[in-house]
Structure formats: structure tokens, C-alpha cells
Structure 1
């Protein structure tokens, strides 16, 4: 892994927006739907981004059961605290995909970095799929719940699992913060093959650039592929992918289109979920 190259520095305005937002209280051609009207959004796409689903009155613990592997991941969420404290659909979608393609995406000896981990599902699924090392990153407000979920799965944060060489470590990483990225990179074993996973991280236009610069630093400067799951909500989401295509190879791995019940309106609406692989250009 090359030395750390300083990525984009997040502006104070962007930093404040991120703090408010998370406060505790295809291939390279466009898909056919890119010209459609904007899709229905979810709570985080509105102003006052701490909006929560209406029946999120209490903490709850759930279990993700392996789709085609024999394991469970136990997760606690606290949706009244905001978007970093709950499970979002793209995380489950990506977890299923990782299970189905574990031989190619997570071959033996692979370690995993997760961006915007939230409650940690994707990274913990990678741990259950025998990733050598897993680093779960998010903002400071997410660390307590990440620590809880790591412990729920019998893993001491930052420690090796008994009788194995695996480790799981939650770490702070604000997108666009070069110091925090450098600290994360410093913990990554250079003898291991790393892959980055991210689910539902492209959702608010103000965060496109900070997220892009973190992704670009990983892919271009450090040759870490990014597997990105995305729920298409707005036409403006494409701006992020256009930025990526200028500097990286963007490959759409899969697309799923379904009708799903919207929690807030109880109406069915079309949901488009995609998974991309971002790699360095040859």
C-alpha cells in the first residue's frame, strides 16, 4: 500500500452539515431509467435529516440470518437517534450479494474496510464470511452502537477472535477528513488484500464530494476496490457516479427493481437497487 496521499479537506460548512445530519436525538453507460422522474425519497433525503420512521419508539435487536451460509449477525439499532443508528435496505442487499459471491469478492486472506458502517451489518457479515480483518468506520456518534454490535457478535473491539486470526475494529472516519483516513490506513495490514464495502452512502448531495474524495483516495491512491450498494432515489445521484467515472472504472455488477411498501405512506413504490465495483483505471 502506498503512502497516504492527502485527499480533499472537508469544508467547515460541510462538517457542520454532517454533524447536524448525524446528531444523536452499471456499467459506464447510463441505465434506461436515468431519464425518469425522481424516485420517492426516504427520510434522510429531506431537510432536518434526523427524521425517523414513525414506529421507531424503542431500541430493538434483530438477527440477520445468512442467505446461503450458516451464520447469524445480531444487531441493535436505535432509530430515534437518527440515520446512523438504523439498518437501511442497501445494507441487506449488499450483504446478500457478498454471500452469493464470496469466492470472488472475499477470497481467503481478504480484509475489509467499511465506509459509513452505521450499525455494522455489511462489515460483520464479512467477518462471518471469514474476512481476515474488518475495520468498521463511521462518524463519532455511531461508535457506541458499533461497539455494542461488535460485542453482540462475540468480538472484542480491536481484538483478535479467540482461536482465529480475525479482528474487528470500529474506527472514526468522516468522509473527506485526511487525518482520520490516514489513521485508518495506518491500521490496515499491508500484507493483506483489502476491499472496501459501502451501502447507502450516496443519498445527500452535500456529501457527494466528501464521500467521493475518500473513495477516490482509496481506489486511485491505494488500489483498494470499492463495492458500493446504492438505492436510486434522485436523478441527482448520478452526479456522484459521473465524478467517479472521471477518475475510476465504474462497473455495475447487478440491478434489482422491485415494488416495495413504503413505510411512511403504506403505498407501493418502485425501488431500484444497484451494486457497483469501483476500481483504478488501467
Structure 2
């Protein structure tokens, strides 16, 4: 991705990252100028995310909040977990979260709810032969309510291009 362009895109934005794992994407968004970033994942990931935010405090100041959020337990629509109202969210980051069959519907529910006031979703995943049915299932779920635009490889920075990595922008249409 182009850093200058991404700084303009994310400048002063409110971002929620789902399934953050290490928190890298959310921390990067904050470093590029997002106003507020909420990174979320399962309880086991929270200490690592918090540590990574602390290690990068010089880049992100106090803009990043770490929270536990399990979209399978809340059916994806539990406002208690979010420190910003959903109508303030500009971007939802979902990186490599299409891997567990039982969570696909709940992930969709969460994305649908969080983007209901106009937020754009940046979804990325890696091709994995055994996970293609889950990816197909997810894209079937979103087909009625979202447009999905794939960012083509040639639009990405050469260092971040790979034929097995995919990046989509999802936007609700209904």
C-alpha cells in the first residue's frame, strides 16, 4: 500500500479492528494518523495486543484501545464492547479472520452491524486450499448487502504483493 495515500485515507478516522491477533493492522492505522483505534480479539490475544500497543506508544500515543471481543459469543452486535458509537466508525479492519466455520455467520453479523452507519470494511485473507469453502460462504453471505471491490495487486506496494493474498473493500449497499 502507498503510505502517503493511506495517511490521507486514515487521517482523523475512527477504526475498529476485528480479530486483531497481534494488533498490527490497528497499530499501523494509528501510526498513519487515525484519531482513534479499537483493536479487538479473543481473551487470549489481549495481553499480546496490549504489549504491542505499549511497545509502540511512541508512534500511537493514546489513540489505540485494546478490548476483548468474541463475535461468536455476542452474535456480533453487543455495544458494550465498543468505546465509540457505531455511527462514528469510519473503517473496520478484518485481516485473516476467515478460518473457522462456526464463526463465519457471526463475523458477517458483526461486520453488517458495525458498518450499518456507513463504515467501509477492509478485508484481507490468504488463500488456503482447505479454507476456500469458508471464503465462498462469507462472500455468499455478503452478496445481498455489500459491494466487494478487490484491490488489485498492481495497486499495492511491490513489497506487499503476493498472489495468495487478497484485499477487499466492502461497503453496505442497503
Structure 1 contact 98–105 (Cα < 8 Å) conserved: no
- Residue of structure 2 equivalent to 1:195: 91
Match in the other structure for 1:93: none
Question: Aligned to 1:149, what secondary structure does the other structure show?
Answer: helix
Q: What is the CA-CA distance between 1:151 and the residue it aligns to?
A: 0.8
- Rounded Cα–Cα distance in structure 1 between residues aligned with 2:76 and 2:147: 26
Q: What's the CA shift string for 1:28-80, capped at 9, x where partnerless? A: xxxxxxxxxxxxxxxxxxxxxxxxxxxxxxxxxxxxxxxxxxxxxxxxxxxxx
When the two structures are superposed, what TM-score results if normalisation uses the length of structure 1?
0.52
Residue segments in structure 1 that go unaligned for 5+ positions in a row: 1-96, 257-269
* Equivalence for 1:184: 81
Q: Is contact 1:231–1:271 with CA below 8 Å preserved after alignment?
A: no
Deviation at 1:126, TM superposition (A): 0.8
CA distance in 1, matches of 2:120, 2:76: 21
Corresponding residue to 1:148 among 51, 56, 62: 51
Q: 1:150: how far off?
A: 1.0
Pairing partner for 2:42 from 139, 142, 157: 139
Q: 1:255/1:233 Cα in 2 relative to 1: closer, same or farther (>3 Å)?
A: farther
Tell me the residue number matched to 1:60: none
Residue-pair matches, total: 162
Computing the radius of gyration over CA atoms, which structure comes out larger, 1 or 2?
A: 1
Q: Which residue of 1 aligns with 2:158?
A: none
> Whole-Å Cα distance in 2 between the matches of residues 138 and 100 of structure 1?
28
Is 1:209–2:105 an aligned residue pair? yes
Kindly indicate whether the alpha-carbon contact (under 8 Å) linking 2:16 and 2:89 is maintained by their aligned counterparts in 1.
no
Report the counterpart of residue 241 of structure 1 in structure 2. 139
Distance in 2 between the 1:179 and 1:281 partners? Answer: 20
Instruction: Check the 8 A contact 1:230/1:273 in 2, yes or no.
Output: yes
Kindly tell me: are residues 118 and 98 of structure 1, through their superposed partners in 2, closer, same or farther at Cα, counting changes over 3 Å?
A: farther
- Aligned structure 1 segments of 4 or more residues deviating by more than 4 angstroms: 189-193
**SS in structure 2 at match of 1:246:** coil
State which of 70, 75, 99 in structure 1 corresponds to 2:3. 99
Unaligned runs of 5+ in 2: 155-161
Aligned to 1:125, the other structure's residue is in SS state: helix
Contact kept in structure 2, 1:173 and 1:180, CA below 8 Å: no
Alignment CA distance shift 1:194-1:103 (3 Å) = same
